[in-house]
Amino acid sequence: MLIKRVPDMPASEITDERLYWGRRQFLRAVAGTAVGTATLWSPASPAVEALEAQASLQGLEKSGLSTTEEPNSFDDITSYNNFYEFGLDKEDPRRYAGRLKTRPWTIKVDGEVGKPAEYALDDLIKLNQLEERIYRFRCVEGWSMVIPWVGFPLAAVLKRVEPTSRAKYVAFTTLLRPSEMPGQRTDVLEWPYVEGLRLDEAMHPLTILAVGLYGKTLVNQNGAPIRLVVPWKYGFKSIKSIVRISLVEKQPPTSWNRSAPQEYGFYSNVNPDVDHPRWSQARERRIGEFFRRKTLPFNGYADQVAGLYAGMDLRKLY
């Protein structure tokens, strides 16, 4: 079925991207003067044009679960990405993701559920209250960002399909379309990309399905048109361009664990005390900052989620 674009909302009802940019770019310019790397921001920059090309999302609520940290700029968030379906370089997704067609788009929800369903994306959005959630986002390679996602709790979708008593995990699958995703024509991973959560992790209020960024629909390189965001886990758990969500009884396979199990565990919680075999996880570099900062357990969300793992050996179950 055809999926309609969400109509534009009044500018007064969405976050003003230029306010975020103004402060951050000023700070960068000051810091850049000292090191000779300052880049002045212009309203006509490609990043601003890309943001303005996206459809605005209506009726956003501000989430009380947001961090108070300053978000990264739209340019940071959309130009430094891991999305291997489009290439291995951090800038490859922005270079090549434009060919991906994200309309129409459907998401199948099936498995151990009483009411399996297939949703057109816009219908799914209409069924849920959209929220802006400013979340820390930590990548396993040692970099991090703060991102103003727009989305809704995954739990709302799962409750609607009525999980059975056999449902213990949630498995996710990315679109498989090598004609538009050139990385899928390589063997760097086994395609399509798959991920999974334990059911209680999936039902946690912090876990969302994101459909927007900075008050507008997602750009392709950030996982358009719908992606998972699990802020206390490393970024590769937040699977992009989702086409299927399945509730299952047994722990599902995940792409990076299948590729390199000695490096990427199923749980993949941010744990500064468990190093990656090839580098330390004790410190991280926030994109846009020069100095590294201390990595926080569960990416700073320990108060909310540590109870999910009570009694578990988080060194063994990494």
CATH number of the domain at 86, please.
3.90.420.10
Measured CA distances, 221 to 100, 153, 205, 237, 264 (Å): 9, 22, 25, 16, 23
Q: Is 269 contained in some domain?
A: yes
What is residue 17's predicted lDDT score, i.e. its pLDDT?
42
In a domain, 318, yes or no: no
Domain assignment present for 197: yes
Task: Give the pLDDT confidence score for residue 118 in this predicted structure.
Answer: 98
Give yes or no for a contact between 173 and 267, defined as CB atoms under 8 angstroms apart: no
Q: What is the predicted pLDDT for the residue at 36?
A: 36
Residue 296: which domain range? 61-305
Residue 180 is assigned to a structural domain of this protein: yes
pLDDT given at position 52: 79
Could you tell me the pTM of the whole model? 0.86
Distance set, CA 50 to CA 5, 63, 301 (Å): 16, 25, 31
Write out the chain in H/E/C secondary structure: CCCCCCCCCCHHHCCCHHHHHHHHHHHHHHHHHHHCCCCCCCCCCHHHHHHHHCCECCCCEECCCCCCCCCCCHHHHHHCCCCHHHCCCCCHHHHHHHHCCCCCCEEEEEECECCCEEEEHHHHHHCCCCEEEEEEEECCCCEEEEEEEEEEEHHHHHHHHCECCCCCEEEEEECCCCCCCHHHHCCCCCCCCEEEEEHHHHCCCCCEEEEEECCEECCHHHCCCCEEECCCECHHHCCCCEEEEEEECCCCCCHHHHHCCCCCCCCCECCCCCCECCECCCEEEECCCCCCEECCHHHHCHHHHHHHHCCCCCCCCC
The reply to whether 268 falls in a domain is yes
**Count of structural domains, the chain:** 1
- C-alpha separations of 305 from 80, 134, 204, 234 in Å: 28, 17, 8, 14
pLDDT (0 to 100) of residue 51:
78
From the list 105, 17, 20, 11, the residue with the least C-alpha distance to 58 is: 11
How many whole angstroms separate alpha carbon 276 and alpha carbon 74? 29
| Residue 9 domain-assigned (yes or no) | no
pLDDT computed for residue 47 by the predictor: 81
Residue 218 inside a domain? The answer is yes
> Is residue 37 domain-resident?
no
Please enumerate in sequence order all residues whose Cβ is within 8 A of that of 89, keeping only pairs 6 or more positions apart, or say none.
Answer: none
Total Cβ atoms within 10 A of residue 190 = 11
* Per-residue pLDDT of the chain in tens (318 residues, 90 and over written 9): 443 333 333 333 334 443 334 444 433 433 333 333 333 334 456 787 777 789 999 999 999 999 999 999 999 999 999 999 999 999 999 999 999 999 999 999 999 999 999 999 999 999 999 999 999 999 999 999 999 999 999 999 999 999 999 999 999 999 999 999 999 999 999 999 999 999 999 999 999 999 999 999 999 999 999 999 999 999 999 999 999 999 999 999 999 999 999 999 999 999 999 999 999 999 999 999 999 999 999 999 999 999 999 999 999 999
Three-state SS letters, 142-178: CEEEEEEEEEEEHHHHHHHHCECCCCCEEEEEECCCC
pLDDT value for 15: 40
